[in-house]
Amino acid sequence: MQIMYDLTTIWDPLRKKHVAMTPEEKVRQWFIGRLAEDIEVPLHMMMSEAGFKLGDKQFRADILVYDRQARPVVVVECKRPEVELTKEVLEQAVRYNMVLNVRYIIITNGLRTLICRREEKDGNIQYVPAASLPVYSEMICQQ
Q: Which of 32, 111, 112 is nearest to 74 (CA)?
A: 32
Kindly report, residue by residue over 8-66, the tens digit of the pLDDT: 888 899 999 999 999 999 999 999 999 999 999 999 999 999 888 878 888 899 999 99
Integer-rounded Cα Rg, in Å, for the chain is 16
Where in the chain are the domains? 23-141
Query: How many residues comprise the chain?
Result: 143
* Residue 6 predicted with pLDDT over 70: no
Pairing type for strands 9-12 and 17-20 reads antiparallel
Which residue pairs from 90-95 have beta carbons closer than 8 angstroms and sit at least 24 positions apart in sequence? 90/114, 90/116, 90/127, 94/127, 95/54
Question: The pTM is what?
Answer: 0.89
Please give the CATH architecture assigned to the domain spanning 23-141.
Answer: Alpha-Beta Complex (3.90)
Strand ranges in the chain using DSSP code E only, listed in sequence order: 9-12, 17-20, 46-54, 57-66, 72-78, 104-108, 113-121, 124-130
